[in-house]
């Protein structure tokens, strides 16, 4: 009973730590509130005096909630967020302090940028950078600080973060989508927003075991570990009932996220043992990106409270599924339409098909960009490695839509679909099933009724890069369409011709079959000529292809220098990750695994000797000791060779050559070492083996 009394409805505390629209309406003078609203919805910059009023209200609100500090919260190229906290205090002449926060401090911060990755930008330009408030994403309170979402740039204007390009891409796609809407006679909509709902997968392990594994602590994944007797083959974990400890964690997590105004909605067990998923309700892309960063951070923090560790690495365990992040993406106009919803009228249908064709063309022409947006050392264990979507980008649109596209191309009627006959632009399209019956789970880019789901992202990735690319690519195609159609004498005729041409030229990106099969990869590469960029090292150099660079430049999303610097940062990051993993393996092998092998061999030999001393045959012990001895020798050799390769890697030319060396030489030697260590684990007593086993990690909660 007492528990029921304490129960508070979610709506009572949802967003209680957010300086939300409601709070602003309550606390700001009407005219100030109106100008902030304009900034938020129309992307207009805020004046200084308005900023002062907002800053003061924000500070009062934050202080009432116990905040003592504020921080400009930003997303440098490290992939995680960064923050530097300043107290609200200003000294007074009598030696006391007053609590102050000005519009200037709200709008601009000046963290020392020199230690963030900049890919050579800082060497040639200024060492300093500044952060600028993004008023479209709400400030919030966490751990007694007021967090102000900000963009991060260098003083000469080069962007150093992941938020700025995303915001720019949202502007350009809005602009181009509006041109298309105008062509369809829409003069009401003034803005098109891209929306995202990222589904987040993760693992939970017991902290007690985590703490015993240097590999998990330093690299986020197990670098050694023999397969457990049971994996995911029984498929009993997916959507299975949630264990009490995990359920308590999820409940706590939901509450923390709700307080921060994050629409945590769905939670369930995933395919692999100890793997789970959280999906929020979708929202505007940049807010979704901020919220996803916060979600990942809070997931880790709350886990510790429960004696758990949340692993966001794409492949914490070999042999069981890794974790991804599905980026559900759509576009909506501020007159209330989801532009990727087929709609009910012929007019809506035609508009939908126009957007659809633009996306098909974009995904086909810019597939390498989408692929590289999901490229990382961690995600290489998934994409192109017999798991999750393949490294080949293709699109799934479902059989209904494919029939429509085919009919459009051939100028025929679509034979009865869902008992309806229709001609494009004349009759209504059928209602596409939005349930899970017609879902292709192997496709990297799937239409799911009123949105696309991009499934390549890794669980630890920021969603910003993918959405920046997606938005810019779609803007590019819509711009090309609009350029042609705006000058057409007969709109419908030209549109029809444009759509048919687009389908003819780009339909090879559409694939509704099984994306995991070897036949598909063969067909994709050899028949359809789709790029198969297997690893990060293959994908990243594509960034700087001239046609890609000029697209980003045309829409002012990235300058050529910014793209070059990003490519450099990402390649360097890849090399660093593999280097850390290799060094961790060496450390563990030398200090834990080899000594354990030696001591176990000794105890087996001792056992043999004592048997022989009393005249009993010791053939079992002798065989085991000799097997252990040769396995240990194998480990030592593999360690020596890895040592040499790590040293050789340092001598490679930085950038792509070094990254390639790490992949081809260091990473492959790591796999050799791992294989022999895992084989040895199966021969050594678990009392002596120095690491918790996969069974401990995956099945102990």
Q: Using CB under 6 A, pick the residue from 282, 558, 574, 600 that binds ligand ADP.
A: 282
* Residues in contact with 615: Cβ distance below 8 Å, sequence separation at least 6, in sequence order: none
Of the ranges 279-287, 317-325, 389-397, 458-466, which one interacts with ligand ADP (CB under 6 A)? Answer: 279-287
* Cα–Cα separations (whole angstroms), residue 20 to 58, 144, 198: 10, 17, 22
Please tell me the number of Cα atoms within 13 Å of 116 on its side-chain side. Answer: 30
444 contributes a contact to ligand ADP by CB under 6 A? no
How far CA 489 is from CA of 349, 352, 436, 501, 612, in Å, comes to 22, 22, 42, 18, 100
321 near ligand ADP, judged by CB under 6 A: no
Using the minimum distance from each CB to ligand ADP, give the nearer residue, 312 or 446. Answer: 446
Q: Hey, which bits of 380-458 come out as E strands? A: 395-396, 414-417, 420-422, 445-447, 452-454
Element (H, E) at 35: helix 30-42
Dihedral angle computed from the Cα positions of residues 165, 332, 400 and 424, in that order, rounded to the nearest 10 degrees = -110
Nearer to Mg ion, 268 or 528 (CB): 268
Report 446-475 residues binding ligand ADP (CB under 6 A).
450-451, 453
Shortest Cβ distance from residue 60 to ligand ADP (Å)?
34
CB 429 → ligand ADP: shortest distance, Å?
A: 18
421 to 440: interface string for ligand ADP, x by CB under 6 A: ---------------x----
Size of the site for ligand ADP (CB under 6 A): 18
Which residue, 200, 228, 229, 171, is CA-closest to 45? 171
Token pair 């800053």 is at which residue? 55
Q: Which is nearer to ligand ADP, 453 or 562 (CB)?
A: 453
- Phi first, then psi, for residue 511 (nearest 5°) are -145, 120
Element (H, E) at 142: strand 140-142
Span interacting with Mg ion, options 197-205, 339-347, 476-484, 631-639, rule CB under 5 A: 197-205
Instruction: Name the CA radius of gyration of the chain, rounded.
Output: 28
Q: Which does 377 bind (CB under 5 to 8 A by kind): Mg ion, ligand ADP, none?
A: none
Check binding of 280 to ligand ADP (CB under 6 A).
yes
Least Cβ distance, residue 271 to ligand ADP (angstroms): 12
- Rounded to a whole number of angstroms, the distance between the first and last alpha carbons of the chain is 29
User: Cβ 338 to ligand ADP, closest distance in Å?
Assistant: 5
Closer to Mg ion by Cβ: residue 158 or 199: 199
Residue with tokens 């005096």: 49
* Binds ligand ADP (CB under 6 A): choice among 199, 206, 314, 656: 199
Return the H-helix or E-strand segment holding 602: helix 594-613
The footprint of Mg ion on residues 301-340 (CB under 5 A) is 326
Of 24-32, 280-288, 589-597, 657-665, the window that binds ligand ADP (rule: CB under 6 A) is 280-288
For ligand ADP, the closer of residues 439 and 627 by Cβ is: 439
Closest distance to ligand ADP from the beta carbon of 331 (Å): 8
**With the CA atoms of 540, 542, 547 and 550 taken in that order, what torsion angle do they form, in degrees rounded to the nearest 10?**
20
Instruction: Catalog residues that contact ligand ADP under the rule CB under 6 A.
Output: 195-197, 199, 266, 279-282, 326, 328-330, 338, 436, 450-451, 453
Instruction: Catalog residues that contact Mg ion under the rule CB under 5 A.
Output: 199, 326
């Amino acid at each position: 009973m007492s528990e029921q009394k304490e129960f508070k409805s979610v709506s009572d505390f949802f967003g209680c730590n957010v300086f939300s629209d409601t709070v602003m309406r309550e606390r700001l003078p009407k005219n100030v509130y109106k100008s902030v609203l304009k900034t938020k919805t129309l992307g207009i910059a805020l004046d200084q005096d308005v900023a002062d009023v907002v800053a003061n209200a924000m500070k009062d609100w934050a202080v009432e909630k116990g905040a003592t500090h504020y921080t400009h919260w930003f997303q440098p190229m490290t992939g995680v967020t960064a923050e530097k906290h300043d107290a609200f205090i200003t000294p007074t002449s009598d030696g006391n302090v007053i609590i102050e926060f000005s519009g200037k401090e709200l709008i601009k911060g000046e963290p020392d940028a020199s230690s963030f990755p900049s890919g050579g930008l800082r060497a040639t330009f200024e060492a300093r950078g500044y952060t600028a408030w993004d008023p479209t994403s709400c400030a919030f309170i966490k751990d007694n600080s007021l967090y102000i979402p900000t963009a991060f740039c260098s003083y000469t204007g080069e962007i150093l973060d992941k938020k700025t390009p995303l915001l720019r891409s949202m502007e350009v796609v809005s602009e181009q989508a509006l041109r298309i809407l105008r062509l369809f006679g829409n003069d009401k909509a003034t803005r098109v927003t891209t929306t995202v709902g990222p589904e987040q997968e993760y693992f939970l392990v017991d902290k007690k075991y985590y703490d015993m594994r240097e590999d998990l602590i330093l690299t986020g994944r197990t670098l050694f570990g023999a397969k457990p007797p049971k994996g995911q083959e029984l498929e009993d974990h997916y959507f299975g009932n949630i264990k009490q400890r995990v359920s308590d964690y999820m409940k706590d997590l939901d509450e923390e996220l709700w307080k921060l105004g994050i629409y945590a909605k769905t939670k369930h067990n995933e395919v692999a043992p100890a793997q789970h998923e959280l999906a929020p309700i979708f929202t505007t892309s940049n807010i979704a990106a901020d919220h996803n960063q916060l979600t990942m951070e809070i997931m880790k923090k709350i886990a510790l409270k429960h004696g758990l560790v949340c692993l966001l690495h794409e492949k914490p365990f070999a042999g069981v599924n890794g974790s991804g992040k599905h980026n559900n993406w759509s576009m909506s106009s501020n007159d209330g339409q989801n532009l990727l919803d087929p709609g009910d009228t012929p007019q809506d249908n035609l508009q939908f098909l126009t957007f659809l064709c633009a996306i098909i063309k974009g995904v086909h022409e810019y597939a390498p960009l989408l692929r590289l947006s999901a490229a990382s050392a961690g995600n290489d264990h998934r994409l192109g490695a017999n798991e999750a979507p393949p490294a080949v980008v293709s699109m799934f649109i479902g059989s209904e839509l494919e029939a429509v596209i085919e009919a459009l191309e051939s100028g025929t009627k679509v034979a009865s679909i869902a008992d309806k006959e229709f001609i494009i632009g004349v009759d209504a399209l059928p209602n596409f099933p939005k349930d899970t019956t017609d879902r292709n789970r192997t496709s990297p880019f799937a239409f799911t009724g009123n949105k696309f789901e991009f499934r390549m992202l890794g669980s630890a990735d920021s969603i910003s890069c993918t959405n920046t690319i997606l938005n810019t690519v779609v803007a590019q195609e819509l711009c090309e369409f609009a350029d042609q159609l705006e000058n057409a004498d007969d709109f419908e005729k030209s549109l029809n011709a444009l759509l048919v041409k687009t389908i003819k030229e780009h339909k090879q990106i559409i694939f509704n079959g099984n994306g995991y099969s070897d036949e598909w990869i063969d067909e994709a590469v050899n028949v359809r000529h789709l790029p198969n960029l297997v690893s990060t090292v293959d994908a990243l150099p594509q960034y700087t292809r001239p046609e890609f660079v000029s697209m980003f430049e045309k829409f002012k999303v990235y300058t050529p220098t910014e793209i070059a610097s990003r490519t450099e940062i990402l390649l360097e990051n890849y090399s660093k990750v593999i280097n850390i993993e290799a060094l961790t393996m060496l450390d563990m092998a030398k200090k834990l695994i080899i000594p354990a092998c030696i001591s176990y061999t000794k105890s087996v030999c001792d056992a043999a000797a004592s048997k022989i001393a009393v005249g009993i045959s010791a053939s079992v012990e002798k065989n085991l000791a000799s097997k252990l001895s040769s396995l240990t020798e194998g480990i030592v050799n593999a360690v020596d060779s890895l040592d040499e390769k790590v040293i050789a890697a340092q001598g490679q030319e930085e950038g792509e050559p070094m990254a390639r060396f790490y992949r081809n030489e260091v990473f492959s030697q790591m796999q050799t070492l791992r294989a022999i260590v895992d084989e040895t684990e199966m021969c050594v007593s678990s009392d002596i083996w120095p690491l918790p086993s996969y069974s401990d990690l995956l099945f102990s909660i």
